[in-house]
Amino acid sequence: MEIGNDTQKSEFLLLGLSEEPKLLPLIFGLFLSMYLITVFGNLLIILAISSDPHLHTPMYFFLSNLSLIDVCFTSTTVPKMLVNIQTQSKVIAYESCITQMYFYILFVVLDDFILTVMAYDRFVAICHPLHYTVIMNPQLCGLLMLVSWIMSVLNSLLESLMALQLSFCTDLEIPQFFCELSQVVRLACSDTFLNNIVMYFSAGILGVVPFAGILYSYSKIVSSIRRMSSAQGKYKAFSTCASHLSVVSLFYCTSLGVYFSSAATHSSRSSATASVMYTVVTPMLNPFIYSLRNKDIKGALKRFLGK
């Protein structure tokens, strides 16, 4: 590796989750299994929804997009980690690191937006059931997805281009199994004030605003359910939200857990371990949450596998 400020010739070292040689085969097997389950589970959800005309509704349209993004999200980080373990190398090229960082930011923000859109869909379905098909028409659904993609791409592009302007010196070790923006910025030997401002501002806007939208939607949903006189109606309304609420809780709890744990322990290794939860475990669990708690998905899966 050439030492200096020329970032175009630099290589980063991904330290991964452990430097113990005895643990590497176990980590490789565990992550390979989780990755295959994630890809297979989410693709199965997509195929089941696309093959069943009864599931061609806004809710399942957004769910299939969430599954696709989860596959892409996991594929951004895990394959490179598996290759590094298999080849016993920690190196990632500068260009590959920036590319990985770009797609990582893109898909994590997209995940956040889609969960918010799905909360809005449930809000309309429960609070305005008579106008649901009119409000959640195909044009609006497509527009919501398009806006989510545009905002995610622009944010990811901005942060990645700003990272390209940084210069790096001798310490190029990233205490993670992937190129995380905050970790890369910390390694820079040039001024990172503007990068930090944009990074925290984007995290605040793109994290807080969607989360506030989800909380608002569910506050209205809870209020609407409480006004229902029928116990069966309450149960049916709540059951349509249960899977989404579980996924939202898992996504936000694991994401917040990463930052709180790293802030409390000041340990990069502990932060890397916590990152596994929302980068690998959450996308893996999403298909199980939706298939186990949703009769429509279970029926579609049986019909699809039956073919």
Residue 270 — pLDDT band, cuts 50, 70, 90? Answer: low
Domains identified in the chain, total number: 1
Average pLDDT over residues 184-194: 89
Average pLDDT over residues 66-92: 93
Give a yes or no: residue 67 inside a domain.
Answer: yes
Write down the pTM of the prediction. 0.90
Give the residue with greater pLDDT, 170 vs 200. 200
Q: Is the pLDDT reported for residue 64 higher than 60?
A: yes
Average pLDDT over residues 283-292: 86
Q: What is the DSSP string of 48-104?
A: HHHH-GGG-SHHHHHHHHHHHHHHHHHHHHHHHHHHHHHHT--EEEHHHHHHHHHHH
Output the six-digit token pair for 241: 């939200």
The answer to whether the CB of 114 falls within 8 A of the CB of 69 is yes
Domain containing 110 equals 7-306
Q: Measure the CA–CA gap between 189 and 208, rounded to whole angstroms.
A: 30
Nearest to 303 by CA among 47, 66, 120: 47
The answer to whether the CB of 244 falls within 8 A of the CB of 122 is yes
Average pLDDT over residues 75-93: 92
Give a yes or no: residue 293 inside a domain.
Answer: yes
Distances (CA, A) of 66 to 94, 224, 283: 29, 26, 9
Average pLDDT over residues 68-84: 94
Helix (H, G, I), strand (E, B) or coil at 14: strand
Between 76-80, 144-148, 248-252, the lowest mean confidence (pLDDT) is in: 248-252
Give a yes or no: residue 2 inside a domain.
Answer: no
Q: What is the pLDDT of residues 86-113, one digit of tens each?
A: 998 899 999 999 999 999 999 999 999 9
Residue 168 — pLDDT band, cuts 50, 70, 90? Answer: confident
Nearest to 220 by CA among 115, 111, 120: 120
Q: Measure the CA–CA gap between 249 and 243, rounded to whole angstroms.
A: 10
What pLDDT does 217 receive? 94
Q: What is the DSSP string of 273-307?
A: HHHHIIIIIHHHHHHHHHHHS-HHHHHHHHHHHH-
What pLDDT does 3 receive? 40
Q: Is the pLDDT reported for residue 8 higher than 80?
A: no
% of the chain surpassing 90 pLDDT: 51
What pLDDT does 6 receive? 46
What pLDDT does 278 receive? 79
Between 52-56, 82-86, 289-293, the lowest mean confidence (pLDDT) is in: 289-293
Q: Is the pLDDT reported for residue 138 higher than 60?
A: yes
Residue 297 — pLDDT band, cuts 50, 70, 90? Answer: confident
What pLDDT does 228 receive? 84
Q: What is the pLDDT of residues 194-248, one digit of tens each?
A: 999 999 899 889 888 999 999 999 999 999 988 888 888 788 878 888 888 888 9
Average pLDDT over residues 61-78: 95
Mean pLDDT of the chain: 87
Give the residue with greater pLDDT, 8 vs 171. 171
Give a yes or no: residue 12 inside a domain.
Answer: yes
What pLDDT does 307 receive? 62
Give a yes or no: residue 1 inside a domain.
Answer: no
Q: Is the pLDDT reported for residue 4 higher than 60?
A: no
Q: Measure the CA–CA gap between 54 and 68, rounded to whole angstroms.
A: 20
Average pLDDT over residues 148-163: 96
* Unique residue bearing structure tokens 């659904």: 141
For position 67, which CATH number holds? 1.20.1070.10
Average pLDDT over residues 297-307: 79
